[in-house]
Copies of this chain bind each other. A is one copy, B any other.
């Protein structure tokens, strides 16, 4: 019989499956990997140095933010320590015109994109929801409802195509978020629309306490791509060179009209889910130690040092830059926040409704009444 298929079914799975093992360019000891790294190419030395620098700065920002939670200066902070290569490698390949769609976990990525640290932390400090202007940096608000941002990214990317703008959207999500229906719908829309979007899954092994084995029975998360006709890459998420190169490939493909790419970056979160979480309840310190040995910064430091691309003086300057960054963050976060109750009624609609005006007036009257009393 003739092959039975509906228009749209190609029946061939060629080229849509990821590699059998995660691709890396620089291994955990800082050496170039002997294996062929598929489509990935080692970034130029200047790029590698910039990846390194941004990781060091990002790490310092991250540890500073964690410290601020202990002092009660931040309501909560979800650290990305250990995922530094993803945070930085995802962002540097993006062009100015491209968009980043981060989650709550991706503060370092947002900082790397150029958003001032204190604007990023407004949310976690409790001053307002999104502290930066998404259009200024082309960074969507950090997204908490899991996986919902994948659809926004696809929509934005498709709108770029409809308007013939050369823009790529990169959306970050976790292993847990891949289980949500929205991720599926986003991958599917992206595949059908050939939208210029890159899905970067940071597979850090856990969704809060739930390990990957309880999250999916898929051989890898990258293997989901074929179900949407989307090419996928499985990479070592602790190798900044691999992350950079993979995102680069994906952005180039998207920009050239080749459609979406799904990237699974295998990595690990060293800290607890947030400062409010107790990770000892669900994972062993041995496991954490193993991953500490795969530190993304250490391996790039080793690589650069061995090649004379980073000497002690440069490392010292970088450390100083990182301290200055941390000082600035501390200083600005130690200042009292100034919030304005009247702002509650702004931004609900383009123009406050009569009812909101009345509610504002009532609140202001109430506050005025209390003032003399206090």
**Of B16, B29, B184, which is within 8 A of A181 by CB?**
B184
Binds B, one of A223-231, A312-320, A362-370: A223-231
Tell whether A71 is near chain B: CB-to-CB under 8 Å. Answer: no
Q: How far apart are A258's CB and chain B's nearest CB, in angstroms?
A: 12
Q: Is A211 an interface residue (CB 8 A)?
A: yes
Which one of B8, B21, B28, B227 lies within 8 Å of A213 (CB-CB)?
Answer: B8
Q: A6 and B182: CB pair below 8 A?
A: no
**Chain B, residue nearest A194 (CB):** B217
A215 at interface by CB-CB < 8 Å? yes
Contact B7 A211 (CB under 8 A): yes
Closest B residue to A290 by beta carbon equals B2
**A13 interface residue, CB < 8 Å from B?**
yes
Tell me if A11 counts as interface (CB < 8 A to partner B). yes
* A residues contacting the other copy or chain, number (CB 8 A): 59
Distance (whole angstroms) from the CB of A356 to the closest CB of chain B: 33
A48–B188 CA distance with the chains assembled, in angstroms: 38
A179 surroundings in chain B (CB, below 8 A): 185, 188
- The minimal Cβ–Cβ distance linking A10 to chain B, given in whole angstroms, is 5
Q: Are A226 and B219 in contact (CB under 8 A)?
A: yes
With A1-B33, A179-B185, A188-B179 as contacts: A212 and B28 at CB distance below 8 Å: no
The answer, among B6, B22, B216, B223, for a CB contact under 8 Å with A188, is: B216
Name A's B-contacting residues (CB within 8 A): 1, 3-13, 16-17, 20-22, 24, 27-29, 33, 175, 179-185, 188, 191-192, 194, 203, 205, 211-221, 223-230, 236, 238, 266, 294
CB pairs A–B below 8 angstroms (20 shown): A4-B21, A4-B22, A4-B24, A5-B266, A6-B213, A8-B211, A8-B212, A8-B213, A8-B217, A9-B221, A13-B20, A16-B223, A181-B184, A181-B185, A192-B213, A192-B216, A217-B230, A218-B226, A218-B228, A225-B227
